Structures are given as C-alpha cells and as structure tokens.
Amino acid sequence: MQIRTPYLVFLGDVPDALAAKTGQGIVDWRREAVAGQLRLPGCQADLGVPELTVEQAAAGGAKTLVIGAVNPGGVLPKAWQRTIVEALDAGLDVASGLHTRLSQLPEVVRAAKRRGRRLFDVRHTDRQFHTGSGAKRPGKRLLTVGTDCSVGKKYAALAIEREMRRRGIDAEYRATGQTGILIAGSGIAIDGVVSDFAAGAAETLSPDNHPDHWDIVEGQGSLFHPSFAGVTLALLHGTQPDAFVVCHEPTRKTMRNVANPMPKIEDVIAATVALGRLTNQAIRCVGVAINTAALDSSAARRCVERARVQLDLPVCDPMRDGVGEFVDGLRLETD
C-alpha cells in the first residue's frame, strides 16, 4: 500500500480535537507530508496547518485526501461523501481509516473510476491471518497499553522508537491503527481483523527477529474498556511483550464514550501482567506515560512526580519530558 503525499487532511465537522486524532497524529509525526486541512462548517478541531479547498490543494500539488477524523464505530457520514467525490474529481486519491469502506460507496467508486483515482481503505486488509499460536519467538517486544482509549499509546510508542533509534538500538514501530499506518506506511489495523484471528495478526505484525531487535507495538483500547477490551487482549497475547508501558490521561473521570469510571494505573499494571503471562512469563512494566496535554506545565510536573512516588516506576509525559527513562530500563534488561 503506497499512499501518495502530500496529504490534504479532511476533518469534516468533528465536534472536538480528540475526534481529529488521525489528522493530528499525521501532522505531529509527518508534518512534511501535509499540504493543509479541509474543514466543514461547525468543525471544532484545528490542526494548525493551512486551510485549503479541494481546488487549492490540487493546484498546490496535493495527491491524497486523507480522512483525518474518527468516531465511535468508524462510520463515514453521508454528508462527507460530497467532499470525497469532489476530491476524486479534482484528481486526488482518497485514503480512509474508518470502518466504512470507501470501496462500498457507489457514488465514491464511480467517481474514482471516472477519474482513474485510487481508494485506500486503510483499516481493512485482504490478507488472511492464522489463529494465535502462543509459540515463543525470538526478538524483543514492547507494547503500549492504556487506562482508556485515546490516551497516547501511539505517541508513546513512536517516541520510544525514535529515542531507541537515536541511541543506535535496532527498533521498529509497529502500527496497529489507521493513524499509525498512515504515519509509518505499513501495519495492520487490528480492530479490522475478525476476532478469532486478531492474536494471530498481532503475531504476524511482530514476527521472529534477531535477539537484540525491539518491536515497539502501538496498543489499542484498554483491558478495562467495555467496548474494546477484546482487541487489547488480542494484542497482549499476540505480541508476547517482554515490556509494556501504561499510558494514562489524568483529567478524565469516566472512560471515553461510556459511563465506566477510569481504572487505577496499578490495576492496569496488575491485569496486564496477569493476562500477559499466558504468552510471556517474563512480561514486566517499565514505566507509565502520562498525557498531560490538558494541564499547564506546573500541574503536569506535579502530576508526573506524584505518580512516580506512588507507583515507584519511571513516569513521564513523552511529549514534554521524552522517554529516556523507559529506554534506560530496556537497555538494563538487555545488558
């Protein structure tokens, strides 16, 4: 799957910044690939990149309209299809990470054929996966897990990979969601895999490797989220992580889109170790990544230090503080 850049990131009319996390992730990690953003009236997210129409983007060299929004269930609203068709008619390809397949929308398919343009359903794959075997395989793996959805698992994984590579460590980020795939250029959208084969897909994503190689696997969902615990467990069993980092957003009272209270970090650590031992008896927590984006610098520092004392583990905000302590711990383990 080769998706052409630059991207025009389409946000539709999403209600908040979190609903634009796909677009924001691309801007944060591949800013050079983004020509600008396109928003519909009422959109409450802003990526901080140039505002462009389809015509302006096409004239400026943009190659692909990327759906930069997410929503519960991954539904592509009917009202957005007009913009998608407009982009195709202007000569752009279209890439989407939503569950709704572009290839199943007749009007969109007709426009793509009319202009000889390509449609990329990033969240879907035609590849067949085996069921998980649990067989031990060489190489090392780190998985990011969460107290909730959308707490920074992707960002933590990308930051860890970047820091490890900076130190000369053989590491590779493994994308498991649509945004990560658009950033990395490859991966498996694990929530688009039939449940019986999700653990096997995770095994495929993090295959046999030489003993000093680290796969840094982007986590999904949360073991404590009633909607998405299944995909989290499949990643945990399939990747057989030697190490994991817990990701947490400290200002939330309830989990995203449900009424369930946020779990304690200690409970997430305990559950991850207990369940992860099914495929790796040596699994261990090497740190906690706290997403302090909603806090000012003083409050963020207090939050991180409080968690460090409470948990007796390395704690940081990957975007404010870096992830050096996590990597230090991995190097000690390797040595």
Q: Average pLDDT of the chain?
A: 95
CA torsion through residues 206, 208, 211, 212, sign: negative
Tens-place pLDDT, residues 13-68? 999 998 998 999 999 998 999 999 999 999 999 999 999 999 999 999 999 999 99
The helix/strand/coil state of 41 is: coil
Tens-place pLDDT, residues 188-201? 989 889 999 999 99
Taking the C-alpha atoms of residue 80 and residue 108, their distance in angstroms, rounded to an integer, is: 11
Tokens 């590849």 found at: 127
Residue 241 has pLDDT above 90, yes or no: yes
Under 8 Å between Cβ of 12 and 40: yes
Angle in degrees, CA 224, 229, 231, rounded to 5: 150
The pLDDT value given to residue 333:
60
The pLDDT value given to residue 204:
97
Residue 1 has pLDDT above 70, yes or no: no
Residue 335 has pLDDT above 60, yes or no: no
Q: What is the pTM of this model?
A: 0.84
**Sheet containing 7-12, strands listed edge to edge, beginning at the edge strand earlier in sequence:** 34-39, 7-12, 64-67, 93-96, 119-121
pLDDT band at 117 (very low <50, low <70, confident <90, very high): very high
Range in 69-73, 110-114, 331-335 with the lowest mean pLDDT: 331-335
pLDDT band at 71 (very low <50, low <70, confident <90, very high): confident
Tens-place pLDDT, residues 44-53? 999 999 999 9
The pLDDT value given to residue 55:
97
Closest CA to 141 of 240, 289, 233: 240
Residue 312 has pLDDT above 70, yes or no: yes
Residue 182 has pLDDT above 90, yes or no: no
Under 8 Å between Cβ of 232 and 222: yes
Under 8 Å between Cβ of 222 and 148: yes
- Whole-angstrom CA distances from 13 to 10, 20, 45, 170, 191 are 9, 10, 8, 41, 24
The pLDDT value given to residue 299:
98
Tens-place pLDDT, residues 257-308? 999 999 999 999 999 999 999 999 999 999 999 999 999 999 999 999 999 9
| E strand segments, 25-115 | 34-39, 64-67, 93-96
The pLDDT value given to residue 99:
87
Taking the C-alpha atoms of residue 227 and residue 23, their distance in angstroms, rounded to an integer, is: 23
Taking the C-alpha atoms of residue 93 and residue 187, their distance in angstroms, rounded to an integer, is: 20
Return the percentage of the chain with pLDDT > 90, whole number: 87
Residue 334 has pLDDT above 60, yes or no: no
Return the percentage of the chain with pLDDT > 70, whole number: 99
| E strand segments, the chain | 7-12, 34-39, 64-67, 93-96, 119-121, 140-146, 171-174, 214-217, 243-248, 284-290, 315-316
Taking the C-alpha atoms of residue 58 and residue 52, their distance in angstroms, rounded to an integer, is: 9
Is the bond preceding residue 50 a cis peptide, omega within 30 degrees? no
Residue 203 has pLDDT above 90, yes or no: yes
